Amino acid sequence: MTRASPKPAELVIRWGPGRSTGEGVPMAFATSHEALPRVDAYGSTQAQTIKRGVLAMYMAHPFPQWSTEERARRLAFEICRYKFLGLDQVLPGARLIEVGCGTGMRTMGAARHFGVREFVGLDHSRASLDVARRVADEDGFTRFTPVEGDLFNIPYDDGAFDVVVSWGVLHHTPDPWRGFQEMVRVCRPGGFVALYLYNKYNHWRHNLQKNRVSRLAGEDFEKRFAIAHRLYGTTPVERMTPEEVAYFYDKYCHPHKSDHTYGEVLSRFDQLDLTPWGSFPPTELRDAIGYIQFRDTLQDRFPLRTALSRRLAAAVRWLPRFDGGHPPYKRPSVAHRFFWQGVLAWMGRNGEYSDGSAFCARKPDRG
């Protein structure tokens, strides 16, 4: 990155692309519902409709909305995530960007825990970034830079980041793999890209429910909320926490999503000449056991919350230690993928959503 670093926690509106044209070329990043980025990804009316709808929803309902206590509890999951993606040794001192960071709550604690040099949170929803900035201020985390921009046109130079991550975002865009290519672009040679996408096998029941809501309510996400709550809500609206409300919108009211498979992610890595580095939750059986063992070691600070997780931890304690593995972790075989397809389908039987693994890959070091 050749431009001066912005002051921590100040919202930066980037004008891009700045790759071949240098700085400050006004490309109209979406700073309102009316302004659309003029990049090919939004060339069609359908793509523009998706962009507007997604932006409108996250302007109205930033995601996620966790209490301070919930954020602290979830840090254990993030510590495990970065270990089994093979990034725990890479993050200290690294420059990290989260593409579609939302309220930044998922990554902020991990960025601090691992001691990154800078954590850039890019999102097109200014409302979400306002929350992220507040969270950084509350936590006294000064190495956070919120950037308002579109992920199809990340306003940074090629190779600007050591680590580029995106959790649960690309499947809400008209062209997830184009978005991924843009992530790879801003990753330095020898750096790392990681992503989580919705899983096709996990979502069979959820899709039936979501389609029903859309059929009954049409496009309006507030109407969708009312219908979805009538059909699937378990707590009266007035008693729902901000976290539950944000999840409900994200789950049932979303204007657009696509579902993907592990095989698809791995073949995109191959196409872009990326080396698979790790997955989380780990897709390889020994690493999956290693994850449960490693999580068990964090219990002093982060007690396990469910009876099932405590039982699992107890069950694997007597096995040899599998949690000392180093990246690159083993690529899941076809048999492993097949196994997880079954597990994910089973996990989705009640309409739960958003299960499945994140994957990390390393960009070739050409230098």
Ligand X SMILES: C[S@@+](CC[C@H](N)C(=O)[O-])C[C@H]1O[C@@H](n2cnc3c(N)ncnc32)[C@H](O)[C@@H]1O
Binding site residues, ligand X, CB under 6 A = 54, 58, 63-64, 100-102, 106, 123-125, 128, 150-151, 167-169, 172-173, 250
Cβ at position 173, least distance to ligand X in Å: 5
Burial of 166 (C-beta count, 10 Å sphere; 0-12/13-18/19+):
buried
> Which residue lies nearer to ligand X by CB, 15 or 339?
15
First to last CA, the chain: 16
**SS3 of 131-180:** HHHHHHHHHCCCCEEEEECCHHHCCCCCCCEEEEEEECCHHHCCCHHHHH
**Closer residue to ligand X (CB): 194 or 217:** 194
Distance CA 256, CA 253 (A): 9
The radius of gyration of the chain's CA atoms, rounded to the nearest angstrom, is 20
Least distance from ligand X to the Cβ atom of residue 182, Å: 10
In the three-class reduction of DSSP (H, G, I as helix; E, B as strand; rest coil), residue 278 is classed as strand
295-300 long-range contacts (CB < 8 A, ≥24 apart) are 295/76, 295/80, 297/323, 298/76, 298/79, 298/80
When the beta carbons of 270 and 352 are compared against ligand X, the nearer one is 352
Name the packing angle between helices 307-316 and 285-297 (round to 10°): 110
Task: Look at the block and give the residue holding tokens 């190495």.
Answer: 143
For ligand X, the closer CB: 152 or 262? 152
Strand order in the sheet with 358-362: 12-13, 144-148, 118-123, 95-99, 161-167, 187-196, 358-362, 275-280
For residue 278, which of 362, 172, 364, 174 has the smallest C-alpha distance? 362
Nearer to ligand X, 41 or 292 (CB): 41
Q: Report the nearest approach of ligand X to the CB of residue 41 (Å).
A: 8
Q: How far is the CB of 205 from ligand X (least distance, A)?
A: 20
* Cβ(53)–Cβ(219) below 8 Å: yes
Closer to ligand X by CB, 225 or 322: give it. Answer: 225
For residues 149 and 290, which CB has a smaller minimum distance to ligand X in the complex?
Answer: 149
- Residue 167's CB: how many other CB atoms inside 10 A? 19
Minimum distance from residue 59 beta carbon to ligand X (Å): 8
Task: Give whichever of 83 and 124 is closer to ligand X, judged by the CB atom.
Answer: 124
Ranked by CB distance to ligand X, the top (closest) residue is 102
Q: How many CB atoms lie within 10 A of CB 34?
A: 7
For residue 62, CA distances in Å to 128, 149, 242 come to 5, 15, 10
Residue 52 beta carbon to ligand X: minimum distance, rounded to whole angstroms:
11
- DSSP letter string, 58-87: HHHS-S----HHHHHHHHHHHHHHHHHTT-
Nearer Cβ to ligand X (42/262): 42
Shortest Å distance, C-beta 101 to ligand X: 5
The nearest distance, CB 91 to ligand X, in angstroms, is 17
Sequence-ordered alpha helix ranges (H) in 199-239:
204-217, 221-232
CB of 169 to ligand X, least distance (A): 4
In the bound state with ligand X, the residue whose beta carbon lies nearer, of 71 and 336, is 71
Taking the complex as a whole, how short is the minimal distance between the CB of residue 246 and ligand X, in angstroms? 9
Nearest one of 69, 76, 58 to 241, comparing CA atoms:
69
